[in-house]
């Protein structure tokens, strides 16, 4: 019996050991392979903090693929407004021109106005490019008014009045930059190479942009590729569209496209830069005549500006005459007046062409162009 009991206990121990072994072994078995998960549909990264996370705590930024840098939007320049521009440029004008006025005043203030003195006055005026006929007229007027010895008239006041009359205070110097019937105003800019045409177109566009006008530029100076590039840069700086053609393109077709864009986009003003090669009068007449005709299929030309370099004296005047015979010039832009003490050219060119000076260039800076004002100009002459 005792043997049987031992045998039964031994079998029971073995059975328990077998059951425990089976249970533990099953727990260590590797799970059966399962199908790989389907790729998740792309979703916007969830940038909200996980629940329970304090917002103030730094959270690792989710990585969302390669970082693509957006091209920086061009920063547009803000052209200088009219008021500060005028104050600044009047000072510059006085700086370059006051020699003429001061010289005349010194002569007119002498105790005795003898023939030698009047001759010196005449020479001073001629040297400043006032021109022969206007000089003669001015000297005659001054002689009459200042002749009387011990006269009560003050030389400075007399000179100011007479110079102002010569410059023409009543001329209409407003720029015609607006069109009619919903069409843009069209400004055609002409003049010999190097006179400052392209620069003037760029500066004028800035004046108009400063006045909140929408502008399109036409780079019809296709003769010189650099001029087209130059104009494109002027336009980019203030966010103005520049219509251009390849080098050698027919200038008239560029002018046409520019005005068409102005009409289509309902721009206020289109300014067209031209090549103005002065090879001969007939060629110039053909080129500019065609440009104008083609433009006017879209909208009338409201202003033709002739750009003239103030430092070129009589040569510049001869060129100006040719241009005015070829196109109907309505206004003159006198550039580089900062580099010349010969402001008298204003008087001469207006007389010659019968057209007012409307703008003056007073430096190479982007905003160094100002509307011409007769009173301010004479004051600048007198210093
Ligand atoms: N000091 C000064 N320089 C000026 C003025 N206006 C233009 N210039 C300079 O004159 C040079 C010629 O100007 P442009 O505008 O290229 O002349 P352009 O008539 O267009 O010449 P093309 O493109 O060859 O037909 C440039 O160096 C200008 O910076 C001005 O009022 N004062």
**Ligand 1 touching residue 312 (CB < 6 A):** no
The set of residues, in sequence order, having a beta carbon less than 8 Å from that of 70 and lying 6+ positions away, is none
**How many helices (H) and strands (E) would you count in the chain?**
12, 8
Q: Under a CB-based contact definition with an 8 Å cutoff, are residues 240 and 217 in contact? A: yes
| Residue 117 in this model has a pLDDT that exceeds 50 | yes
| R_g over Cα of the chain | 41
Ligand 1 atom 30 nearest Cα? 336
Neighbours of 79 (CB within 10 A): 19
Regarding beta strands 241-244 and 269-274, do their DSSP bridges make them parallel or antiparallel, or are they unpaired? Answer: unpaired
- Alpha carbon distance 63, 376 (integer Å): 65
d(CA 338, CA 181): 39
Separation of 57 CA from ligand 1 center, angstroms?
A: 60
Of 260, 267, 291, nearest to 190 by C-alpha is 291
Atom of ligand 1 nearest to the CA of 191: 19
The percent of residues above 90 in pLDDT, for the chain, comes to 54
Ligand 1 centroid to Cα of residue 366, in Å, is 11
Is 229's C-beta closer than 6 angstroms to any atom of ligand 1? no
Q: Among 43-47, 225-229, 286-290, 366-370, name the one with the lowest average pLDDT.
A: 43-47
CATH number for 185-329 (one of 3.40.50.300, 1.10.10.10, 3.40.50.620, 3.40.50.880): it is 3.40.50.300
Minimum-distance ligand 1 atom for the alpha carbon of 227: 23
pLDDT digits (tens, 9 = 90+) for 365-383: 999 999 999 999 999 888 8
| CATH match of 82-167 with 1.20.120 | yes
Residue 194, ligand 1, Cβ within 6 A: yes
What contacts 340, CB < 8 A, 6 or more positions away?
Answer: 96, 310, 311
Q: Ligand 1 in contact with 196 (CB < 6 A)?
A: yes
Q: Burial letters for 173-192: b for 16+ Cβ neighbours within 10 Å, e otherwise?
A: bebbbebeeebbbbbbbbbb
Residue scoring higher pLDDT (339 or 27): 339
The residue ranges of every structural domain in the chain are 82-167, 185-329
Q: Which strands make up the sheet holding 301-309, listed edge to edge?
A: 241-244, 215-220, 269-274, 185-190, 301-309, 331-335, 357-361, 369-371
What tens digit of pLDDT does each residue of 320-345 get? 898 888 899 999 999 999 888 888 99
d(CA 88, CA 204): 17
* CB of 362 shorter than 6 A to ligand 1: yes
Q: What is the pLDDT of residues 263-276, one digit of tens each?
A: 999 999 999 999 86
pLDDT at 180: 94
CB 199 less than 6 A from any atom of ligand 1: yes
Q: Give yes or no for residue 262 CB within 6 A of ligand 1.
A: no
Pocket test for ligand 1, best of 364, 367, 369 (most atoms within 8 A of CB): 364
Complex ipTM value: 0.93
The DSSP annotation for 356-375 comes to -EEEEE--SSTT-EEE--HH
For the segment 169-182, the average pLDDT, to the nearest whole number, is 96
Using an 8 Å Cβ cutoff, are 309 and 193 in contact? no
pLDDT at 63: 42
Task: Tally the residues of the chain.
Answer: 383
User: Exposed, middle or buried, 366 (CB in 10 Å: 0-12/13-18/19+)?
Assistant: middle
- Which burial class, exposed, middle or buried, applies to 214 when counting CB atoms under 10 A from its CB (0-12, 13-18, 19+)? middle
Residue ranges for the known binding site for GTP are 191-198, 273-277, 335-338
pLDDT at residue number 86:
80
pLDDT at 26 over 50: no
Summary mean pLDDT of the chain:
82
Q: At what angle do helices 132-146 and 345-353 cross, to 10 degrees?
A: 120
Q: Ligand 1 mean position to 222 CA, how many Å?
A: 17
Query: What is the best residue among 88, 89, 93, 196 to mutate for testing ligand 1's pocket, by most ligand atoms within 8 Å of CB?
Result: 196
Which has the higher per-residue pLDDT, 99 or 256? Answer: 256
Q: Indicate if the pLDDT at residue 96 is higher than 50.
A: yes
pTM of the predicted model as reported, rounded to 2 decimal places: 0.79
Give residue-wise pLDDT tens across range 196-232: 999 999 999 999 999 999 999 999 988 777 889 999 9
């Amino acid at each position: 019996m005792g043997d049987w009991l031992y045998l039964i206990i031994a079998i029971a121990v073995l059975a328990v050991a077998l059951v425990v072994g089976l249970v533990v072994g099953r727990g260590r078995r590797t799970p059966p392979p399962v199908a790989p998960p389907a790729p998740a549909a792309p979703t916007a990264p969830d940038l909200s903090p996980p629940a329970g996370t304090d917002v103030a705590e730094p959270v690792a930024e989710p990585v969302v693929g390669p970082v693509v840098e957006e091209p920086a939007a061009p920063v547009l320049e803000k052209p200088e407004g009219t008021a500060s521009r005028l104050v600044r440029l009047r000072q510059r004008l006085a700086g370059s021109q006051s020699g003429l006025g001061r010289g005349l005043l010194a002569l007119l203030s002498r105790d005795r106005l003898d023939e030698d003195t009047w001759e010196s006055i005449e020479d001073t005026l001629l040297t400043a490019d006032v021109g022969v006929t206007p000089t003669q007229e001015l000297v005659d007027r001054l002689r009459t008014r200042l002749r009387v010895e011990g006269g009560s008239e003050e030389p400075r006041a007399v000179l100011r009045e007479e110079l102002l009359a010569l410059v023409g205070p009543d001329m209409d110097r407003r720029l015609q930059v607006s069109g009619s019937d919903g069409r843009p105003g069209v400004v055609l800019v002409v003049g010999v190479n190097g006179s400052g045409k392209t620069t003037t177109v760029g500066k004028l566009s800035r004046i108009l942009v400063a006045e909140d006008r929408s502008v399109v530029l036409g780079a019809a100076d296709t003769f010189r590729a650099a001029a087209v590039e130059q104009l494109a840069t002027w336009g980019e700086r203030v966010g103005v569209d520049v219509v251009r053609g390849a080098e050698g393109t027919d200038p008239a077709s560029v002018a046409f496209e520019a005005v068409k864009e102005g009409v289509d986009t309902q721009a206020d003003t289109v300014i067209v830069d031209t090549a103005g090669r002065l090879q001969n009068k007939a060629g110039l007449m053909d080129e500019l005549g065609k440009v104008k005709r083609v433009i006017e299929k879209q909208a009338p030309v409201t202003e033709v500006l002739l750009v003239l370099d103030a430092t070129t004296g009589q040569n510049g005047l001869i060129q100006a005459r040719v241009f005015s015979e070829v196109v109907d010039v309505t206004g003159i832009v006198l550039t580089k007046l900062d580099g010349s003490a010969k402001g008298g050219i204003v008087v001469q060119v207006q007389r010659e062409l019968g057209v007012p000076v409307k703008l003056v260039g007073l430096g190479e800076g982007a905003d160094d162009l100002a509307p011409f004002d007769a009173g301010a100009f004479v004051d600048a002459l007198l210093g």
